[in-house]
Structure 1
Amino acid sequence: MAADEEAQQRATDRVTNLPGQPPGSFQHYSGYIQLQTQNEKAMFYWFFEAQTEPALKPLVIWLNGGPGCSSVAFGAAQEIGPFLMGNAVINDQTDTLGIVDYAWSHGIISDKLYQSLKADCEDFKLPHTSSRCNDQLKAFFDAFSGIDIFNIYSPVCVLNFSATTNSSNLEDIQSTFDPCVNNYVRKYFNQKEVQRALHANVTNLPYPYTLCSSQLTKWTDSPSTVLPTISKLLDAGMRIWTYSGDADARVPVTSTRYSVNKLGLPVMEEWRPWFYKRQVAGWVETYDKGLTLTTIRGGGHQAVLSARDWSLSLFTSFLQH
């Protein structure tokens, strides 16, 4: 993409009047990226620049699962994004946003890209998902050049990506998390002013925005295991850290350890605690080929939400190794 086209794309997608956004030094962009390999298909993205030296920071791509759940409603609005929907609840003003203390765009951390996969149900089969992800990342790097490093949340996404690059304590949870946050996120993103500010819903869909799609209740395309995919990525020289919250009732640590053990990799450093501010924040074991298994103490299924400070420390460590 030519420099003038890149500048025009950035200017068009820059978010300048998001309702309730407090003053801040970072810029963010959102809109639709057309997919080159699938006619009339587009994917929505929301990209936050790091708050300091964004050109020097890696790009983090966060994908929520579900299946069919929105990375915008969960990743951006609840887990690692800079805005706190909880303040809107406290003030009874759904157009007022707070700032998250442990957002992943703060300080030395990273740029972030959230993808929201909105397409026909048939397109959620794994080959289509991987192809769409590949297309969107290529288009994104065309529009936002100069980003050299990126980290991928989904192994299915990164497997076929071929773009050229160089490559808390519980008291804290009570003060930052409202159990009704899903309701407020839904209400906020259904406001027409919010959708216009984010350059979203340009086709005026006849149904409201939901956090997860109700059309994927019978989705059966999930692989029985992603271990072969992880093996391929490790063999290609990629460094992988997998983490589990030790209070996760859906994906318990025991299950994760059994799965990792099936890879048959030699243990380089045995099970041991890791620390944050002189507290045990979790446990870690290091394997051959660059695989690391970690736990986050007190983390639930959304570990980043229930243990924000420890999760951020873990991610920062990943970037610095």
Structure 2
Amino acid sequence: MASSPKSTYPLSLITILFVLSFAHSFKSLHAQESDRVFNLPGQPKTPPVSQFSGYITVNKDNGRALFYWFFEAQILPSEKPLLLWLNGGPGCSSIGYGAAAELGPLRVKRYGTGLEFNAHAWNKEANLLFVESPVGVGFSYTNTSSDLIKLDDGFVAEDAYSFLVNWLRRFPQYQAHDFYIAGESYAGHYVPQLAEVIYEHNKDRRTYPYINFKGFIVGNPETDDYFDSKGLLEYAWSHSVVSDQVYEQAKNVCNFKLLDWSNACNDAMNIIFNEYSEIDIYNIYAPKCNLAQTSSGTMDQVDETKAKGRVGRRIRMYSGYDPCFSSYAEDYFNMVDVQRSLHANVSGKINGRWGVCNDSILDAYNFTVFSVLPIYSKLIKAGLKIWVYSGDADGRVPVIGSRYCMEALDLPLKTQWHPWYHNKQVAGRFVEYEGLTMVTIRGAGHLVPLNKPEEALVMVNSFLLGKQLRRHK
């Protein structure tokens, strides 16, 4: 007896859906494999590293695309979470810092002569994704030059969200994984702002794809202009960088609660930054790098007179800059065969040399957000996991300011300020609030995974697993 049309229709629909699903999976797999990196110049032969890199379009009309570098977890990537890392600046590269100098599995050697395996890479604990954001940073580009004068925190957050959605379409096997965001420095703005966009869009599953977002962790983060600036001043004085007289002068003429600093305040803060010019503001106890600089982002090269004319009439300088490592990275990533292996700078989309930081981004960036603490309050109430960590030798975004920021949230206290241990030594301190943990890393500067790689790996493992740091030797 012939089958009725009613019995054949569901079978036909299932077949069509299967074919469409197969075609989509095949297209994604092909796109993935075209981004696979097989062997970078100077890469050690062992251990093997599963890595991908390339471009994700975030705006077709304007021709905006962000460059990424992705490392699968070293063990059981199908079971590990996905972690996105962002650097700040604004205008500094997550490839040059996070991936190549801090927490990626392949770090650039001294003088950019090749790569070495990082035994404390964070892809021991997670699938690790780096993106150069915003457009104009590193290999990321736009075909619409007016985009570069529209950059602000909202613009960056929406582009980062578009990147993430489109990256997950290319790598759909990670769509259901627990997802976390991490970053440092001015990513103290980028990370919670992207987190907020994801949180809000996840409420509307009819319009937006659901992202299995669980929380974020930020290091030495710019969070609130008032507390960060107050902390910078107090840290310089309390760590003997400036005299009592300079400290008192800045206290008397500066009102950090104002968006616009007075000329007198800028002059006073200039004195403090000039005192830092003889040491590394990002790691005050470390030797200063004495290499000839190839980039213009170092502390003593910031044009502070020009900076006074920027939005907010306050001195703006990069947060997150290590001159020696940036020089090594620039030597390496400007090699033609390196760019070819990474599928970077396709068709000469970037002008000039690849740089760890882009001065023009910092110059043009519209600083419109004074504080991200309201976002913290919202996302803590939503039940997301949030950690803040701070290397206590950083003068640029010091631990003092971060402590002020966390205290201003006025959260109930769970665990008092307490030391945590690694290798039977005090690794730092931590305090737990309801919905937030703050951690310090003893002796680390602004780039914690670079200065204290073992402690940083222990910390991120505890964060991802929801474990308390070790309280005993």
Q: TM-score, normalised by structure 2?
A: 0.62
Q: Distance in 2 between matches of 1:159 and 1:52?
A: 31
2:346 alignment partner, SS class: coil
Alpha-carbon shift at residue 217 of structure 1 (Å): 3.4
Alpha-carbon shift at residue 309 of structure 1 (Å): 0.5
Aligned counterparts, 1:297-316, within 5 A: 297-316=442-461
Aligned-residue Cα RMSD (Å) equals 2.0
Q: Percent identity?
A: 38
Q: TM-score, normalised by structure 1?
A: 0.90
Alpha-carbon shift at residue 70 of structure 1 (Å): 0.5
- 8 Å contact from structure 1 (residues 234, 240) kept in 2: yes
**1:170 maps to what in 2?**
none
2:329 alignment partner, SS class: helix
2:160 corresponds to 1:15? no
**2:115 maps to what in 1?**
97
- 8 Å contact from structure 1 (residues 37, 135) kept in 2: no
Aligned letter for 1:187?
Answer: D
**2:151 maps to what in 1?**
124
1:103-134 CA distance string (max 9 Å, x none): 1113xx11111010224423421221111011
Q: Distance in 1 between matches of 2:94 and 2:152?
A: 18
2:396 corresponds to 1:250? yes
**1:234 maps to what in 2?**
380
Alpha-carbon shift at residue 261 of structure 1 (Å): 0.8
Aligned counterparts, 1:193-232, within 5 A: 193-204=337-348, 205-218=350-363, 219-232=365-378
1:203 alignment partner, SS class: helix
Q: Distance in 1 between matches of 2:381 and 2:36?
A: 39
> Structure 1: where are the runs of 5+ without partners?
168-172
1:261-296 CA distance string (max 9 Å, x none): 1111111111001111221111011111x2011101
**1:31 maps to what in 2?**
54
**1:111 maps to what in 2?**
127
Choose from 63, 81, 84 the match for 1:61. 84
- 8 Å contact from structure 2 (residues 44, 115) kept in 1: yes
> Structure 2: where are the runs of 5+ without partners?
1-20, 137-146, 183-190, 202-208, 214-285, 288-321, 467-473
Alpha-carbon shift at residue 36 of structure 1 (Å): 4.6
Stretch deviating more after TM superposition (260-269 or 155-164): 155-164
- 8 Å contact from structure 1 (residues 19, 95) kept in 2: no
2:284 corresponds to 1:261? no
Choose from 181, 184, 188 the match for 1:152. 181
Alpha-carbon shift at residue 83 of structure 1 (Å): 1.3
Aligned letter for 1:164?
Answer: Y
Stretch deviating more after TM superposition (20-29 or 263-272): 20-29
**2:336 maps to what in 1?**
192
Q: Distance in 1 between matches of 2:335 and 2:194?
A: 31
Q: Distance in 1 between matches of 2:418 and 2:392?
A: 14
Q: Distance in 1 between matches of 2:29 and 2:361?
A: 37
Distance 1:273 1:21, change over 3 A: same
Alpha-carbon shift at residue 181 of structure 1 (Å): 2.4
Alpha-carbon shift at residue 179 of structure 1 (Å): 6.7
Q: Distance in 2 between matches of 1:73 and 1:295?
A: 24
Aligned letter for 1:99?
Answer: F
1:69-121 CA distance string (max 9 Å, x none): 010010101010111223x53xxxx4521111111113xx1111101022442
Q: Distance in 2 between matches of 1:202 and 1:45?
A: 13
Alpha-carbon shift at residue 166 of structure 1 (Å): 3.7
**1:42 maps to what in 2?**
65
Matched residue count: 306
Larger radius of gyration: 2
- 8 Å contact from structure 2 (residues 59, 65) kept in 1: no
Choose from 462, 467, 473 the match for 1:317. 462
Q: Distance in 2 between matches of 1:74 and 1:139?
A: 24
